[in-house]
Structure 1
Amino acid sequence: MNTPAITGTGVFTPSEVITNAELVAAFNAYVDLFNAENADEIAAGTVAAKEYSSEDFIFKASGIQQRYVIDKTGVLDPKVMHPLLRQRSDDEPSLMAEMGVKAAQNALAQAGKSAKDVDLVICAASNMERAYPAVAIEIQQQLGISGFAFDMNVACSSATFGIQAAADMVRSGSIGGALVINPEICSAHLEWRDRDCHFIFGDVATATLIETAQAATGPYFEIKSTRCATEFSNNIRNNNGYLRRSRPAGMVDRRDMQFMQNGRKVFKEVLPMVSDHIAAHMADGGVQAADLKRLWLHQANKTMNDFIGKKVLGRTPEPSEQPNILQDYANTSSAGSIIAFSKYSGDLEDGDRGLICSFGAGYSVGSVLVERHA
């Protein structure tokens, strides 16, 4: 049996940024428009008036200060309130593939590897740009990789589930190397007109290269074990499924066709599920809380991460033990824990252990125990 290892990671970050101040200004302008257009119904009590958002509200609710997006123009237009993504022709690269390729190239460069070292591409993300052909196969073609590729969707846990699938295949010897790529265009399935969630998401793409430990040409993280679990819940959902580019005239404006969540139930039900999952994974791996040098958690909400970190370690984690990127990137679904890992793992020493964990809709939770080899 081979020993699977993470030999490289890469992040592609869009160039456009929306600060909380910009977002609040746009949202509140939309509120003014809505309330003016529906003044009679609001007065009659048949339509509820929209409430303003604020920077304090956003930061206290999430810990987010800004987010990167593919397009900010449409999001910040009070009459549009969604990204304006150009419909590409069939002979052009898809947007997800374009982002994924850039992240993958960064991961390959960090590992000192090339396309010939990869046998499998998994595109694991919360929403796919199309049903078929698989975006993963398009990325495979653009990178010049032989072998095979497929798409995977486990919402916010897609990256860790993809890592487990790739690690298992590397361990068995059916492949030598795999790229798990997470292109997340979360801005396209967020309802920017909903005060309760308009601040949550951002866009990004990440990539993780998984090979045998023997193939590593530099420092790497041995994948000691992985664990995945799912339990059905409808409390986080998106009934539409694919990226929205525009809202055509005459389109029925169904709220449930974009991201929705019952936040209170999610907090109540997901937090113990994740904490128990990590505790059981560590126990089965013979890992004590004192053995963990770092937690790279899903970046959805700072309060959730603080709770989980305290339960896992038995105390409040130091910032260096549980790094957050949420304040800069916002929630980037499956990519969040990989951004944190990519940016805050290079300083660990030989033999240091850590845990990558993502969780979300499904419910789903995936965890990866790793050990640094310098």
Structure 2
Amino acid sequence: MSEIIPVISATGLFTPPESVSNAELVESFNAYVDLFNARHAAEIAAGSVQELAPSSVEFIEKASGIKSRFVMAKGPVLDPETMAPRWRERTNDELSVLAEMGVKAAQDALAAAGRDARDVDAVLCACSNLERPYPAIAIEIQNALGIEGFGFDMNVACSSATFGIQTAADYIRAGNARSVLVVSPEICTGHNNMKNRDSHFIFGDVATAVLVEAKDVAPAQHWEIVGTKLKTVFSNNIRNNFGFLNCASPEGIGAPDKLFVQEGRKVFKEVVPMVAAMIVEESDRLGIEAAALRRLWLHQANQGMNRLISQRVLGHEANEDESPTVLDTYGNTSSAGSIIAFHKHNTDLGAGDLGVICSFGAGYSAGTVFVRKAA
């Protein structure tokens, strides 16, 4: 029996129609700061409450490299009295927000591959910010697209998409599926603390899809999956404590630790060497010269992290061609970030060119997908 080779046939992207610039975000945040300080003036004077400091466009761009981000609910996110996404709650008979985003990204990927939804065997919804525990968002997407087979949700934070790609590739190698959609809808603004100066600017919303298939059914234009590597190391330095066991408590929804929190400096110090070493070691195992990788599609969380990781892998500071950035216009979109970078920056490469899709984040988790362009 010949080996079944998994490939990436196509990718898809859904970008929300509204975006928020740093200037808009700073105006909103500073209005909230003024309101907070005025409402707590007595406590601030007494020393029982810490006065809040305003943000600035310069601070945001220096700290992250982000200039804007796309969002699903711009008005509520910028409202100083709300500062979180809000929309009408949909009935059980309506398509959920996350599934709606995922379906659009999946349709984009299917169209790019010239594939009908009926050809797909499975849907994996791999993302950080799941809308509900069950029924699975993946099964809802599967149903909306008219796909037979199976679907399930998986969450490995910012590495969910790469973990999903390896899972899909393993199904194909084992003969359990021929065509698998890995869909990553992310409403990151729902888990972001927009009232925290150090993190209010980080996240945006988006959805991506990756169609992973057996090589013999894939279109001529595809990327062979040369190898994958996954890694997890427990850490509290990036955490979100929200869940159904605590959301009913008086301190539940909206409490700072029920949203995204991180020790940014510790994350930077610990994740950069871990990810760089992981890429280099896996390159060696695959017989690939790490310095010869044509392109690195890295997780889009922080430009400083990506600069150091690519430098350690390539042996020099990467230029925009070697390690493209979408962080400046999309912000951190969790699991979708490295896939957006791949989606937008792969068509110019030639047959035989090698690259790596790499994600990393909470857990800690990290995933690498080494790919070779077929045609």
Mapped to 2, the partners of 1:49 and 1:292 lie a distance apart of 49
Pairing of 1:131-150 with structure 2 (within 5 A): 131-150=133-152
Map of 2:307 onto structure 1? 306
Q: Which amino acid in 2 is paired with 1:179?
A: L
Contact kept in structure 1, 2:242 and 2:253, CA below 8 Å = no
Mapped to 1, the partners of 2:83 and 2:291 lie a distance apart of 46
Distance apart, 1:247 and its partner CA: 12
2:371 equivalent to 1:335 = no
2:12 equivalent to 1:10 = yes
Map of 2:235 onto structure 1? 233
2:44 equivalent to 1:42 = yes
Mapped to 2, the partners of 1:32 and 1:247 lie a distance apart of 30
Distance apart, 1:301 and its partner CA: 0.4
Pairing of 1:28-177 with structure 2 (within 5 A): 28-177=30-179
Unmatched runs of 5 consecutive residues or more in structure 1: none
* Cα deviation code 1:162-201 (max 9, x no counterpart): 0000001111111101000000000111000000000000
Contact kept in structure 2, 1:81 and 1:193, CA below 8 Å = yes
Contact kept in structure 1, 2:240 and 2:260, CA below 8 Å = yes
Map of 1:193 onto structure 2? 195
* Cα deviation code 1:206-235 (max 9, x no counterpart): 000000111122310000000000011111
Map of 1:352 onto structure 2? 353
2:281 equivalent to 1:271 = no
Distance apart, 1:12 and its partner CA: 0.1
Q: Which amino acid in 1 is paired with 2:147?
A: I
Contact kept in structure 2, 1:127 and 1:241, CA below 8 Å = no
Contact kept in structure 2, 1:274 and 1:359, CA below 8 Å = yes
The farther-off stretch of 72-81 and 53-62 is 72-81
Distance apart, 1:86 and its partner CA: 2.0
Contact kept in structure 2, 1:128 and 1:241, CA below 8 Å = no
Paired residues in the alignment total 371
Mapped to 1, the partners of 2:97 and 2:61 lie a distance apart of 30
Mapped to 2, the partners of 1:252 and 1:277 lie a distance apart of 37
| Cα 1:252/1:332, change in 2 over 3 Å | closer
| Cα 1:250/1:300, change in 2 over 3 Å | closer
| Cα 1:78/1:275, change in 2 over 3 Å | same
Map of 2:368 onto structure 1? 367
SS of the residue corresponding to residue 324 of structure 2 reads coil
RMSD value, Cα: 1.6
Contact kept in structure 1, 2:120 and 2:181, CA below 8 Å = yes
Distance apart, 1:85 and its partner CA: 2.6
Distance apart, 1:266 and its partner CA: 0.5
Distance apart, 1:117 and its partner CA: 1.7
Mapped to 2, the partners of 1:260 and 1:318 lie a distance apart of 31
SS of the residue corresponding to residue 155 of structure 1 reads coil
Mapped to 2, the partners of 1:294 and 1:66 lie a distance apart of 24
2:228 equivalent to 1:220 = no
Contact kept in structure 2, 1:189 and 1:258, CA below 8 Å = yes
Unmatched runs of 5 consecutive residues or more in structure 2: none
Q: Which amino acid in 1 is paired with 2:69?
A: R
SS of the residue corresponding to residue 349 of structure 1 reads coil
Map of 1:256 onto structure 2? 257
* Cα deviation code 1:77-97 (max 9, x no counterpart): 111111113211111101010
Contact kept in structure 1, 2:338 and 2:358, CA below 8 Å = yes
* Cα deviation code 1:11-51 (max 9, x no counterpart): 00000110000000000000000000000111111110000
Distance apart, 1:55 and its partner CA: 0.1
Percent of aligned positions with the same letter in both sequences? 57
Distance apart, 1:241 and its partner CA: 4.4
